[in-house]
């Protein structure tokens, strides 16, 4: 098939590939065809044409080095997607360090998505296979893969993808471990070494340890996340509403806890965060005095509310929180402790001087852990191969 820069109607379409590539089993062709139909092939055709046009306009087809960030093809917003986009955006700014073209792609054999629309960004997303076929002269490729794709990424590659990768002299696969629960998808990470170099970057300091490096058997580097208190409007106590924002995570005690808060603090407004763009969400947490997360604990609901001048409540999760958070009165050692104390703690903290003093305490801890200067340094060290644990 001809190269897309030579004026063909298109390099390939998802439907055409699914129809005419030789299947690996008797059942593969009808199953792949069914998936293609569900993906709306007409819409996919239009997206693919647009992606080819954007590739021609923004990337030299004869590039020697390429860095790919693989992301989900679902148009949504969450911490993982925003972190991957941040890594991509900041990597494009340090080309003097790595010397490569940088591109954001959906996974192989997935429906195409052109852009995320739930948060402000200028990033275009390309199909992995289309990008791989566009760059014809690659000598070096680095592929950043989110941890939840680690166990199936290779099996999702088409025969043409594998053939193209085999022609590239230097291959580096990096697994982005953004959630420690994602370790279950990384059992075969060492097996990826048959393609070339393999590393792992982490999002949280807590599990960025020598023990994890030994368990994985590959170099480990703390990347952290792009996040800085300067990016938030930190409002004071008297500028806040008596509003408690609640993470959308499920938990067996969630309804019981929220019912108790509603009964003991009937004047308080409560809002479970859902169906908001990130910009809308930031405006909500600017107004909120309080935040309660039922998620991993040290998450965006917790940290971003604090950066916005609020007070956050959570249960200590040793997979994410570092020891310094144990001293905080609103980081409880269990959900039983939380349900016993949260209402009385809210009442005692809901006085300006007390609120301000404790908010300062939370703010100081989070500001030490999350600041862009350290994140930029960690990113540069990764591309310089100065890993946290080699």
pLDDT digits (tens, 9 = 90+) for 72-109: 998 988 888 989 999 999 999 999 999 999 999 999 87
Same-domain status, 176 and 317:
no
Same-domain status, 377 and 360:
no
Q: Give dist(CA 54, CA 58) in Å, integer.
A: 6
Q: Give dist(CA 359, CA 302) in Å, integer.
A: 12
- Edge-first strand order for the sheet with 288-292 is 269-272, 241-246, 288-292, 311-315, 331-332
Tally the domains of the chain.
3
Q: How many CB atoms lie within 10 A of CB 327?
A: 9
Phi and psi at residue 201, in whole multiples of 5°?
-110, 150
126 forms beta bridges with: 105
- Indicate which CATH number applies to the domain containing 320: 3.40.50.2000
> 25, 114, 17: which is closest to 73 by C-alpha?
114
Same-domain status, 193 and 323:
no
Same-domain status, 215 and 83:
yes
Q: Any idea what the Cα angle at residue 64 is, between residues 59 and 66, rounded to 5°?
A: 60
Contacts with 377 (C-beta within 8 Å, 6 or more apart), sequence order: none
- Residue 5 resides in a domain: no
Q: Please, what sign has the CA dihedral across residues 321, 323, 324, 327? A: positive
**Domain membership of residue 162 as a residue range:** 55-227+373-383
Same-domain status, 217 and 289:
no
What does DSSP assign to residue 389?
Answer: B
| Look-up of token digits 């939840």 | 148
- Residue 6 resides in a domain: no
Contacts with 368 (C-beta within 8 Å, 6 or more apart), sequence order: none
CA dihedral 351, 339, 181, 213 (to 10 degrees): 70
pLDDT category at 34 given cuts 50, 70, 90 is: low
At 168, list the tokens: 């590239």
- Residue 133 resides in a domain: yes
pLDDT the model gives residue 199: 97
SS (H, E, C) 107-122: CCCCCCCCCCCCCCCC
| Look-up of token digits 């893969």 | 145
353-362 per-position pLDDT tens digit = 999 999 999 9
- Regarding pTM above 0.75, the answer is yes
Q: Which of 36-45, 267-276, 348-357 has the lowest mean pLDDT?
A: 36-45
């Amino acid at each position: 098939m001809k190269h897309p820069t030579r004026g063909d109607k298109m390099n390939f379409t998802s439907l055409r590939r699914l129809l005419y590539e030789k299947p690996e089993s008797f059942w593969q062709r009808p199953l792949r065809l069914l998936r293609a139909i569900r993906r709306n092939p007409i819409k996919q055709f239009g997206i693919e044409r647009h992606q080819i046009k954007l590739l021609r306009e923004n990337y030299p087809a004869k590039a020697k080095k390429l860095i790919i960030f693989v992301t989900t093809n679902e148009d949504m917003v969450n911490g993982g997607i925003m972190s991957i986009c941040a890594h991509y955006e900041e990597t494009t700014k340090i080309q003097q360090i790595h010397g490569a073209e940088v591109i954001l792609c959906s996974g192989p054999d997935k429906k195409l998505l052109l852009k995320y629309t739930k948060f402000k960004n200028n990033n275009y997303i390309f199909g992995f296979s289309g990008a791989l076929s566009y760059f014809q002269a690659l000598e070096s490729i680095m592929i950043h893969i989110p941890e939840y794709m680690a166990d199936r990424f290779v099996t999702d590659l088409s025969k043409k993808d594998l053939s193209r990768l085999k022609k590239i002299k230097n291959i580096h696969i990096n697994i982005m471990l953004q959630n420690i629960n994602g370790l279950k998808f990384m059992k075969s990470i060492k097996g990826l070494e048959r393609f070339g170099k393999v590393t792992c970057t982490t999002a949280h300091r807590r599990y960025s340890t020598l023990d994890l490096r030994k368990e994985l058997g590959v170099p480990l580097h703390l990347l952290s996340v792009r996040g800085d208190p300067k990016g938030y409007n930190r409002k004071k106590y008297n500028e806040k509403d008596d509003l408690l924002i609640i993470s959308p995570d499920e938990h067996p005690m969630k309804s019981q806890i929220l019912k108790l808060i509603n009964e003991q603090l009937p004047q308080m407004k409560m809002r479970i965060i859902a169906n908001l763009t990130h910009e809308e969400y930031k405006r909500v947490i600017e107004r909120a005095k309080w935040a309660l997360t039922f998620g991993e604990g040290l998450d965006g609901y917790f940290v971003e509310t604090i950066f916005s001048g609020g007070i956050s409540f959570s249960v200590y999760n040793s997979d994410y929180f570092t020891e310094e958070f144990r001293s905080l009165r609103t980081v409880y050692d269990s959900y039983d402790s939380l349900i016993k104390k949260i209402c009385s703690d809210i009442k005692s903290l809901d006085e300006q001087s007390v609120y301000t003093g404790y908010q300062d305490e939370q703010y100081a801890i989070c500001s030490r852990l999350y600041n862009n200067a350290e994140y930029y340094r960690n990113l540069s060290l990764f591309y310089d191969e100065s890993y946290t644990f080699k």
